[in-house]
Amino acid sequence: MPRKDDYDTMVYKMIRDSDVIIEVVDARFPSLSRTKKFENMVLRNPSKTLLIAMNKVDLVPNHIVTKWKKILEKERISIIPTSARERLSTSILRNRIISSADKEFFYITSCFIGLPNTGKSSLINILKGRSSAPVAPIPGFTKALQVLRITTRLRIFDTPGVIPVKLSMADQILIGIIRPEKLSDPVKAAWSLIHRIDEINPNIISKTYEIEYESPPEFLEKFAEKRHKKKKGGELDLETAARVLLAEHTNKAKIPIWEDPDKYLIEKREKEKERSV
C-alpha cells in the first residue's frame, strides 16, 4: 500500500495536469470533509476550475443542503449538490465540467479528488454511463489512478481518497473514512464515535437504536446486550458490538447525522473576530 506522501504526490500531479478539478465532499459533513490544501492549490492557478460536488444529499434533509450551498457559495466556491445513489444532478455536474473548461481547447482533462468513501468512483461511473471505476462501501477502495474516457472530449481521472493530516481521529471515524476492521481498539473508537455524535446531536443515537444512556460506555454495553453480542461465558462481547456499530455507521450510514450549518457560521464568525482583534 502506498504511503500517504505518495498519495499526496499523486493527487498533486493530477491537479497539475487537469483543467477542471472536482472535489467530492460528503453532504453530511461539507466542512469537515473538505481538503483545503488541495483546494488552495487549484485556486492559486487561474487557468484551473474548482467545483465541489456535495455528494450523498440523499442522506441529508433538503433545507440543510440548501443552507450549506448558500454558505459555501459565499466563499466563492461552485457547489453542485449530487447523489450518485439517486442519480441526482449528475448531468448538471457533467455539463458544468464541460462548460467550465477553457473553450480554446477541445480536449478536457478533469480529476475527482476528496476524502475516501465520499463517492468519487460512484459519480464517475454515472457520468460514464456504465460501471468502470470500482466502487465499494470501504474507505480507501480506489488504490491507484484510473483514467476514464467519458466522451470524446472529456477524460476523467479517478484518484484514491486522501485523509488530511489535520483531521482528528474522532472526526475520521465520524465521517466514515477509516475501515472499521483497521481500528486496533474498536471499543475506544466506538466510544469516541458516540461522544462525537452526541456533541453534534445529543438525541440521535438513542432515537436510532432506541437505547437510553448516560455515557458512551453505557450505550455500548446496552447495544451489545440488545444485539446479543456475548462471549462463550455469557460476558458481553464489547469488541464485536463496537465493530458492528462502527460498520453500521461507516458502511450503511445508519445514524442520521450531519454538521449543523448554523453552528459552522457562528464558529467561522468567531474565528474571524479573533483574527481581527
Ligand X SMILES: Nc1nc2c(ncn2[C@@H]2O[C@H](COP(=O)(O)OP(=O)(O)OP(=O)(O)O)[C@@H](O)[C@H]2O)c(=O)[nH]1
Residues near ligand X (CB under 6 A): 55-56, 58-59, 83-85, 116-122, 135-137, 139-142, 160-161, 253
Between CA 100 and CA 109 the distance in angstroms is 11
Kindly report the number of other CB atoms within 10 A of residue 24's CB atom.
29
**Binding of Mg ion at residue 117 (CB under 5 A)?**
no
Question: 83 touches which of ligand X, Mg ion, none (CB within 5 to 8 A by kind)?
Answer: ligand X
Q: Please identify, using beta-carbon distances, which residue of 254 and 263 lies nearer to ligand X.
A: 254
Q: Sheet with 108-113: list strands edge to edge.
A: 78-81, 49-55, 20-26, 108-113, 154-158, 146-149
- Nearer of residues 5 and 272 to ligand X, judged by Cβ: 5
- Among residues 187 and 257, whose Cβ is nearest to ligand X? 257
We find the least distance from the C-beta atom of residue 251 to ligand X, in angstroms, to be 7
**Sites for Mg ion among residues 177-196 (CB under 5 A):** none
Residue 33 interacting entry, from Mg ion, ligand X, none, C-beta within 5 to 8 Å by type: none
Q: Which stretch binds Mg ion (CB under 5 A): 17-25, 116-124, 225-233, 252-260?
A: 116-124
Question: Do residues 276 and 216 make contact, with C-beta atoms less than 8 angstroms apart?
Answer: no
The interface partner of residue 2, options being ligand X, Mg ion, none and the CB cut-off 5 to 8 Å by kind, is: none
DSSP string covering 166-228, please? TS-HHHHHHHT-S-GGG-S-HHHHHHHHHHHHHHH-TTHHHHHHT---SSHHHHHHHHHHHTT
DSSP 256-275: -----HHHHHHHHHHHHHHH
Q: List the one residue from 18, 82, 121, 172 that touches Mg ion (CB under 5 A).
A: 121
Residues in CB range of 64: below 8 A, 6 or more apart: 258, 261
| Closer residue to ligand X (CB): 72 or 178 | 178
Helix 216-226 and helix 186-200: axis angle, to 10°?
Answer: 110
| x/- map, 213-252, Mg ion, by CB under 5 A | ----------------------------------------
- Which CB, 24 or 197, lies closer to Mg ion? 24
Contacts with Mg ion by CB under 5 A lie at 120-121, 142
